[in-house]
Amino acid sequence: MTKKERVERTLAGKEVGRPPVSFWYHFGVQHEGGERIAELSIDFFRYYNLDYLKLMNDYYYPMPKDVQEIATRDDLSKIVPFDVQKSDWAEQLRAIDMIARTLGNEAYFIDTVFDPWQVLLRNLVGEHLPRLVTEEPDAVLSALEVITRNIIDYCKEALRRGCAGMFISTFGSQKQMDRDVYLKFALPFVRQIFEAIEDKAIMNTAHVHDYGIYTDDVVDLPVHVLSYEDREPSNPSMPDMRKKWSGSIMAGLDKNRMTRVTPADAIRNAKEGMELGGKTRFFLAPGCSFPTWLYPASAKAMVEAVQASGE
């Protein structure tokens, strides 16, 4: 079975002898151009012999021209539509072009996007966001609408260039934000993005980030795959999640058991995940990024053990 066939069978709900396996971490080279990102991603994919590639996207949402800080209502109005192909994101699109040419016939890959709330938090508004949500909620919502449109444009372009889907990180958890704030300022915009690209991909993935996820609020998102940290006790186990979610699950690997453990325990980590995930609609992966300083031999042994477990 080819890598692409394994992913296709998994998405279709057909039984496979063992799940597609992948993992990822942040390379920390967002200061480099798209060619470097592509080279690293392809080398990483090939070195570990992964079944699919979750492409990291560490290029930040562009700050408005000549703006260093968004701290007021008037500042929020400076967040405007832009041409994604003439922005910092053009480097990620260049990486996608290179990866599509190299891996297109071999394996599927998905690109990463942070939801509009995280865009505000990561660099546009940053430390001012809690205050602005309280003092200027309508202006924040208007800014989120603009960011959402720009992200949709980016996603459509990434999919057009060869991505099999978009992996969108959303802060739908108690650890990250109060539920009422999430329902008003984050989830509606995540839904807008996925609805806009629903028919343009086969592997759109909602990554519900962190601990104490708002399960009932995210299980009706129009996506093919749900990614979350199933090994965290405050989150549903995969068997419990399947009672509410009929699509594929991307989980199973405990991100905290890849460093400061032996290679043997990394293998046990994967075998436990496979047991929990079952034979259908399951992608073996960490619930979030692995630490960058993992021991390569452990990760390689883990992947090899998964691939030796079944056809």
Q: Tens of pLDDT along 213-244?
A: 999 999 999 999 999 999 999 999 999 999 99
Between CA 77 and CA 87 the distance in angstroms is 19
Residue-level pLDDT at 265 = 98
Element at 114 (helix H, strand E): strand 109-114
Q: Average pLDDT of 90-110?
A: 97
Element at 197 (helix H, strand E): helix 187-197
Between CA 263 and CA 267 the distance in angstroms is 6
User: Is the CB of residue 191 less than 8 Å from the CB of residue 151?
Assistant: no
Residue-level pLDDT at 306 = 98
Residue-level pLDDT at 64 = 95
Residue-level pLDDT at 251 = 98
Between CA 285 and CA 23 the distance in angstroms is 5
DSSP β-ladder status, 109-114 and 225-227: unpaired
CATH of domain 3-307: 3.20.20.210
Which tokens sit at 98? 């290179």
Q: How confident is the model at residue 129 (pLDDT cuts 50, 70, 90)?
A: very high
Between CA 24 and CA 242 the distance in angstroms is 24
Q: Average pLDDT of 261-267?
A: 97
Q: How confident is the model at residue 311 (pLDDT cuts 50, 70, 90)?
A: confident
Residue-level pLDDT at 238 = 98
Q: Average pLDDT of 44-54?
A: 98
How far, rounded to the nearest angstrom, does the alpha carbon of residue 9 sit from its chain's CA centroid?
Answer: 21
DSSP β-ladder status, 165-170 and 53-55: unpaired
Dihedral of CA 29/32/34/39: which sign? negative
Is pLDDT at 139 greater than 90 in this prediction? yes
Q: Average pLDDT of 29-49?
A: 97
Strands annotated E in 128-240: 165-170, 205-208, 225-227
User: How much is the mean pLDDT over the chain?
Assistant: 97
User: Is the CB of residue 254 less than 8 Å from the CB of residue 231?
Assistant: yes
pTM score over 0.85: yes
Q: Is 254 exposed, middle or buried (0-12, 13-18, 19+ CB in 10 A)?
A: buried
User: Is the CB of residue 236 less than 8 Å from the CB of residue 215?
Assistant: yes
